[in-house]
Structure 1
């Protein structure tokens, strides 16, 4: 946690900014105000041959095709943003939001989405990284707990062999089930 008051104020302001922006974008996705969705496809875009569509048009049509995907991404943005509001959950919120924001920035770059949209996502990413920097002592503690050396005895060759046999059996069961269900021939 930041030690001086100004750093604390800037951290809170950063978290509130990201909270506001990602709630706007997340709720826009979930309420049908982002992406080209089936039944809500702009006529001028629908008339464009696929080979002549822009990256933006292709991306918006692709992402808009799947309602579960839209809800997943929108919900990840909203839940991650809400977790930023409390000190105890802010790092979990950041862990949820970092991959979401990196994905948004990559899509914006790869499909030539507007520079403004990428700048907004980039600013959110930058502010979350700053929050991580301001909380580096907490992060060090978390990572030292996650990566501490095990006190249990290493696995024996016999244990590894039995685990390998069980894994092969599970794979066989999985592919056998898929074959029975007609998913693979």
Structure 2
């Protein structure tokens, strides 16, 4: 017997061949960033437009998905042709599914703990103080999930649980079932609220459904036909290898599982450090109302009327987030202290609702009194000098 195959062609069913193609596509999606870079480097595809963004669904990511799916389909069809020609059922799809389970586990654990520690959906005063009709659908969803810390943690544990179950073969089906339910909800939220991570959530849902489909017949018998389910008719993956192959397969499985646990621990530490760093980026956190504003025009500072579109009625500084707004404008920023002048200057990086970044702009700040602040900087095309007063009533 050749290591990694079974000699009986009758075991190569149509289901197994379709499963092989699906496994190839899953592998292509997991490798899509690498495959895309490789294709660009070799001139096979043209590089997509580069954007500075902390969000997903960028042109490069869409291009990478297309490359990954095409590569996966070609690989899957090649494996199917090989099995038909050799009249043998190969173990390659089963090994790929093991990798898919570990990859999905790592992903769920990472995103789950981000929610458990309350860093994915911050509860921002700027959003609470803005009518939902003025927010984008994504901001509405983020504000809803982040309003209650306990609910956000519930969502997180709902991802951590299947992530843990997917690490073990005996609980993989249960983990895939829970993951499919969770990721279906995440994917639909991303679709209906136009959240810019549709590629990722759609891929993870596909991975969960692919893993779950391996027991589709048995689940049908149990949940629909109300009949006792039979034991698996196929031997364990390791049993299809020779003696050395089994040792290698099991050894790699243990190493990869430990790798997932180690990477999760590393991610958890990084999430904690990020959460700590977000607590006091700007020393004057709060909701500030503008009491006086001036714009640099014709070589001098000229007063601005509150009705002017360049007059920010309120400025919100919370963690590493900032918002300037009035009746006509609402702009979001990522902030960090200027390393050269941390006691008097703040870097504000404008970002749109797709989280595309602009170049940072320096704002100089000075606290006149504990509840009074002066800011000097550039908002869109205007250089502004602002006098602000803290509004504690909106900081709840």
Structure 1 counterpart of 2:239: none
Which of 65, 78, 86 is the aligned partner of 2:160?
78
Contact 1:55–1:111 (Cα < 8 Å) also in 2:
yes
Matched, 1:100 2:177: no
- Report the alpha carbon displacement of residue 71 of structure 1 after superposing the two structures with TM: 1.6
TM-score by length of 1: 0.68
Matches within 5 A, 1:91-130: 91-114=173-196, 117-130=197-210
For structure 1, which runs of at least 5 residues remain unmatched after alignment? Answer: 151-185
Taking the aligned partners of 1:149 and 1:20, their CA distance within structure 2 comes to 34
Q: Flag the 1:95–1:58 CA change in 2: closer, same or farther, 3 A.
A: same
Q: Secondary structure at the match of 2:107?
A: helix
Q: Which has the higher strand share?
A: 2
Q: CA deviation at 1:145?
A: 3.3
Using CA pairs under 8 Å that are at least 6 residues apart, name the structure with larger relative contact order, 1 or 2. 1
Find the aligned partners of 1:132 and 1:149 in 2 and give their Cα distance: 19
With normalisation by structure 2, the TM-score equals 0.33
How far off is 1:149 after superposition? 6.2
Alpha-carbon distance in structure 1 between the residues aligned to 2:130 and 2:104: 36
Equivalent residues in 2 for 1:57-76 (5 A)?
A: 57-76=139-158
Shift of 1:24: 1.1
Distance 2:115 2:173 in 1: 24
Question: What is residue 363 of structure 2 aligned with on the other side?
Answer: none
Q: 2:211 aligns with which of 101, 122, 131?
A: 131
Shift, 1:46, TM fit: 4.9
The aligned counterpart of 1:180 is none
Does the C-alpha gap of structure 1 residues 145 and 59 become closer, same or farther in structure 2, counting only changes over 3 Å?
closer
Q: Residues of 2 paired with 1:22 and 1:81: CA distance?
A: 5
The root-mean-square deviation of aligned C-alpha atoms, in Å, is 2.4
Could you list the runs of 4 or more consecutive aligned residues of structure 1 that deviate by over 6 angstroms after TM superposition?
A: none
Match of 1:88 in 2: 170
Q: CA deviation at 1:52?
A: 0.8
Q: Name the structure with the higher helix share.
A: 1
* Native 8 Å contact 2:102 2:167 kept in 1: yes
5+ residue gaps, structure 2? 1-15, 20-88, 229-396
